[in-house]
């Protein structure tokens, strides 16, 4: 491909405007050529369409799409894009089910185009240094605390507590994407408790326990009802002391108290995602890791469902 990748951004909600648009503007390998949204606003000077069918009918030359829609509708849009021969960037989570992502991956492979299941938290500056430290450490326990206020981070986004909207796993899957990256061995869920508001079809909180084949204990506390200070922390106890990732991976504190990386939350993560997307598009390869999504699916399969008070925004 000669010249920058001509990209259409589909689903113009908060994350698209806050993170995707600035990251695309800063990347010389990608140019924002169109936006698509039924409700969200477009970008000044960029062609805007109501849906992907209108974009296709326009004849505008597009090389790739980035999908920022709710997960419930993402598969059908991605399939339409693949049929057009467009490379596809999937915001996390990559689909509403594992089967959807498997089907999209197979379709992309058959079409010879690139599919990217993006996990933005893996691009936080503390993640790779943490992974390097833990590669040869004896890990004794892992504790994840991911608690935030749904009213602050998802105002008016009722879909997130509907069936297929993931509920508290929408942010919680970010934690799982980090843990699956930094730990040297795969792990599996042993039990879970999921709190469902009486008026919602997705959980608002979850408490999870995992283990690996060597008996490593991993616990996670996800909650969408946190008021005041927010918590996005991963604490790893090792034979060399305690390693902590704060602020969603933005700040790493090693056992000796040193902090090799520290930056604002989300700073640089989306730039890293788009660099990676450009790499796989030019290489005509795909990057589809479903490990975080598999753990969420297992939590729904294995977890005890508890009914809690209704959620009123």
* CB-CB contact of 23 with 270 (8 Å): yes
Active site residue 14: no
Strands 47-49 and 64-67: unpaired
Instruction: Supply the DSSP symbol for 92.
Output: S
- For the chain, the maximum distance between any two Cα atoms, rounded to a whole number of angstroms, is 60
The owner of tokens 């938290």 is 121
Contact 271, 118 (CB under 8 A): no
Distance set, CA 305 to CA 107, 161, 165, 224, 274 (Å):
35, 15, 16, 16, 37
Considering 74, 92, 181, 246, which one is annotated as catalytic?
92
For CA atoms 199, 204, 207, 209, the dihedral sign is: positive
What are the residues whose beta carbons fall under 8 Å from the beta carbon of 73, sequence distance 6 or more? none
Q: Answer whether 274's CB lies under 8 Å from 158's CB.
A: no
Using CA atoms, how far apart are residues 299 and 145, in angstroms rounded to an integer?
16
Residue 171 CA to residue 239 CA, distance in Å, equals 30
Catalytic residues: 92
């Amino acid at each position: 491909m000669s010249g920058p990748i001509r990209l259409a951004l589909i689903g113009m909600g908060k994350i698209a405007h806050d993170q995707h648009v600035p990251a695309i503007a800063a990347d010389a390998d990608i140019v924002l050529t169109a936006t698509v949204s039924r409700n969200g606003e477009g970008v000044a000077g960029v062609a805007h369409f109501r849906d992907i069918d209108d974009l296709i009918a326009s004849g505008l030359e597009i090389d790739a799409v980035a999908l920022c829609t709710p997960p419930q509708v993402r598969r059908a849009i991605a399939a339409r894009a693949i049929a057009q021969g467009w490379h596809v960037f999937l915001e996390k989570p990559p689909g509403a089910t594992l089967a959807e992502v498997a089907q999209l991956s197979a379709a992309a492979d058959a079409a010879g185009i690139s599919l990217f299941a993006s996990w933005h938290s893996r691009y936080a500056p503390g993640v790779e240094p943490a992974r390097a430290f833990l590669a040869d450490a004896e890990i004794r326990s892992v504790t994840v605390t991911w608690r935030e206020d749904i009213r602050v981070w998802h105002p008016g986004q009722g879909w997130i507590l509907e069936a297929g909207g993931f509920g508290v796993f929408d942010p919680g899957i970010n934690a799982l994407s980090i843990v699956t990256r930094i730990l040297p061995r795969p792990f599996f869920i042993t039990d879970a408790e999921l709190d469902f508001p009486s008026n919602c079809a997705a959980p608002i909180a979850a408490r999870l326990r995992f283990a690996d084949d060597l008996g490593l204990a991993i616990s996670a506390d996800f909650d969408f009802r946190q008021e005041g200070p927010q918590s996005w922390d991963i604490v790893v106890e090792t034979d060399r002391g305690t390693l902590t990732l704060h602020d969603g991976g933005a700040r790493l504190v090693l056992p000796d108290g040193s902090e090799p990386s520290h930056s604002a939350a989300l700073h640089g993560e989306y730039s890293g995602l788009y660099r990676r997307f450009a790499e796989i598009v030019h290489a005509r390869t795909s990057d589809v890791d479903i490990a975080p999504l598999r753990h969420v699916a297992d939590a729904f399969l294995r977890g005890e469902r508890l009914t809690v008070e209704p959620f009123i925004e």
